[in-house]
Amino acid sequence: MEKMKLKLLYADLKSDIEVIEKELETALNSSSHLLNDASLHLLQAGGKRIRPVFVLLSAKMGRYEIDRVKHIAVPLELIHMASLVHDDVIDDSEMRRGERTVKAQWNNRVAMYTGDFIFARALEHVTVIEHPRVHQILARTMVEIVNGEVIQIEDKFRLDQNIKDYFRRIKRKTALLIESSCELGAIVGEVEPENVRRLKRYGYFVGMSFQIVDDILDFTATDKELGKPAGSDLLQGNITLPALLLKDDPHVRPYIDKAIEGTLTEEERKELLKLVRKSNAILEAAKISDKYLKKALKEVEALPPHPMKKKLRDIALFMGKRKF
């Protein structure tokens, strides 16, 4: 239902999203049957295609040509997809979007090489764009995403981390790619430099809000809605904002410790979820997400009059207020 609501927000981009979808399928084609099957397995699992949408909307603020813009939208979605394949290896995840992950369907080695292949395809696809700054931004984005993955490994199971550590991690994990989607879409659309910077900041703030909401939903949504057990982040050793806000709570801490140790039973997982859902941590985390969302909306308001402003505003509000 939530995915349907999102698609309604950018229904007028449907034909261009279909172009992106076909380009993604073409980009993932490989002479290796194994790589082909593994890559398409991920593609067919679906996704919101948020990053391509931000590329398209930002480009529409200037001179919009889908045959040019697609060469930015596709690589950014490929980078996102590749990072998911690697994340599932790091987190030892069996399920994503209600489907078996590449590492679960095949194995870790196949998953790592599949992620590498998708990263390489992203670089290959963007070569059509003859703009040094575009390549510099994309390269920087990829470097920071990999740094983020390493930071996530270093922070796993660490309860001595603070909220600043968490923000540093989600910036690289999520916000940076949305920021780059807005910035690169605007550059390729030849948007005025001042507005490129506004769209870049908008993407960063939306990305931060989006990830915080995602981390809240990992505790508040149902297993069915998530397509995986609620509380999976904590069970995998990823200490997200709600857990950080509750780590010193004497009623919750014993369950967090057991989750980190890998000794939490199914009944205890359900009890942990009840405690987290009733706590103030969910409201506090939502307030922090809202602060980022308000900053994103402020950047939209600063943009010159344009029909796309409402789209940017509506999508930001949806992402910051979604239920799963």
Rounded to whole angstroms, how far apart are CA atoms 79 and 138?
10
Contacts of 210 (CB under 8 A, 6+ apart): 50, 174, 175, 178, 319, 320
Say yes or no to pLDDT of 237 above 90: yes
Rounded to whole angstroms, how far apart are CA atoms 267 and 265?
5
Rounded to whole angstroms, how far apart are CA atoms 306 and 183?
17
pTM over 0.85: yes
**Residue 251 parent element (H or E):** none
Q: What is the DSSP string of 100-166?
A: E-HHHHS-HHHHHHHHHHHHHHHHHHHTT---HHHHHHHHHHHHHHHHHHHHHHHHTT-TT--HHHH
The confidence band for 44, taking pLDDT boundaries of 50, 70 and 90, is: confident
Which residue(s) pair with 100 in the sheet? 95
Say if CB 312 and CB 10 are below 8 A apart. no
Residue range 282-292: average pLDDT? Answer: 98
Rounded to whole angstroms, how far apart are CA atoms 191 and 89?
39
Rounded to whole angstroms, how far apart are CA atoms 135 and 187?
11
Q: What is the DSSP string of 60-113?
A: TTS---HHHHHHHHHHHHHHHHHHHHHHHHHTT--EETTEE-HHHHS-HHHHHH
The pLDDT tens digits of the residues spanning 75-134 come to 999 999 999 999 999 888 898 877 899 999 999 999 999 999 999 999 999 999 999 999
Rounded to whole angstroms, how far apart are CA atoms 225 and 257?
26
What pLDDT does residue 97 have? Answer: 76
Say if CB 36 and CB 163 are below 8 A apart. no
The pLDDT tens digits of the residues spanning 3-43 come to 667 778 888 899 999 999 999 999 999 999 999 999 999 89
Say if CB 232 and CB 215 are below 8 A apart. no
The pLDDT tens digits of the residues spanning 182-225 come to 999 999 999 999 999 999 999 999 999 999 999 999 999 999 88
Q: What is the DSSP string of 193-244?
A: HHHHHHHHHHHHHHHHHHHHHHHHHHHHS-HHHHTS-TTHHHHTT---HHHH
Say if CB 189 and CB 64 are below 8 A apart. yes
The confidence band for 2, taking pLDDT boundaries of 50, 70 and 90, is: low
**Residue 314 parent element (H or E):** helix 308-321
Say if CB 219 and CB 300 are below 8 A apart. no
Q: What is the Cα Rg of the chain in Å?
A: 19
Rounded to whole angstroms, how far apart are CA atoms 154 and 150?
6
The CATH code of the domain at 14-321 is 1.10.600.10
Rounded to whole angstroms, how far apart are CA atoms 239 and 155?
8
Q: Which two tokens stand for residue 43?
A: 């593609």
